[in-house]
Amino acid sequence: MNDALTWVLDLVQGVDPVLRTLLAGLGILFETSILVGLIVPGDTIVLVAATGVDGPAEYAALVAAVIVGALCGESIGFALGRWFGPRIRVSALGRRVGVRNFDRAEAYLARRGGIAVFLSRFLPVLHSLIPLTVGMSPMRYRTFLAWTAPACVLWAFAYVSVGSAAAGSYRELSRELHGAGYVFVAVIAVFLVAVFVVKKVLSAREAKHMEAAAREPGPPLDETEEPSAT
């Protein structure tokens, strides 16, 4: 396994660091701005890019690129929702996403406010829909940014740290341990399982709010009102 894994990691690391960093940032940008994340998860792009990190400078650059890409993508999604939201809903892409998913996102946002924005970064489907949905709501951009920025920072550090640490540890161990490849796979697997469990727990917890919102839709979100954290 070591030979095959070393070849893959060397292939990733062989990509120009600037290009690799830009691709990761763009992957996250597209994921949150034009619903690409419903097809190609940006977390996979970032995790793969992180395995090519070589040194603190590349680590910091990748984290920064992912944070900026995520914030730019969320901002573009917000702008698209504000200016073209209703048109996107009835477009071919909107129909592909599904009216039910849009309705759930809108009801969830109306009920949970800023908490929905923060948690959506870690929830399937909603992480691509919420920026667009917020743009169609009365919530101000600065309020949206205040809730989504911490989530983007947390997400970026988690994925880049795990990917780079796993690859770095493997490179060190592979010189002395024949089964180092299994250690790398185990670290990534444990992280992905942890992410899966966290998403499941959050999804189950927030599903109650979504169901309640669907049964009893609340009033439109007041842009001057403090978001509910209950």
How far is 155 from 123, CA to CA, in rounded Å? 12
- DSSP tag of 52: T
How far is 16 from 35, CA to CA, in rounded Å? 27
Can you tell me which residue has the tokens 């990190």?
A: 53
How far is 147 from 227, CA to CA, in rounded Å? 10
How far is 163 from 152, CA to CA, in rounded Å? 17
Confidence of residue 215 (pLDDT cuts 50, 70, 90): low
Report, in angstroms and rounded to the nearest whole number, the Rg of the chain calculated over CA atoms: 19
45: pLDDT strictly greater than 70: yes
Say what the pLDDT of residue 126 is.
78
| Number of other CB atoms surrounding residue 204 within 10 Å | 9
In tens, the pLDDT along 48-81 reads 999 999 889 999 999 999 999 999 989 998 998 8
Residue 187, SS3? helix
141's tokens = 């951009």
Name every residue whose Cβ is closer than 8 Å to that of residue 90 and which is 6 or more positions away in sequence: none
Answer whether 124's CB lies under 8 Å from 10's CB.
no
Say what the pLDDT of residue 225 is.
42
Is 75 or 208 the better-scoring residue by pLDDT? 75
In tens, the pLDDT along 107-163 reads 888 888 889 899 988 887 777 788 889 998 989 999 999 999 999 999 999 999 999
The answer to which of 17-26, 70-79, 92-101, 139-148 has the lowest mean pLDDT is: 92-101
Answer whether 160's CB lies under 8 Å from 46's CB.
yes
- DSSP tag of 136: T
Confidence of residue 220 (pLDDT cuts 50, 70, 90): very low
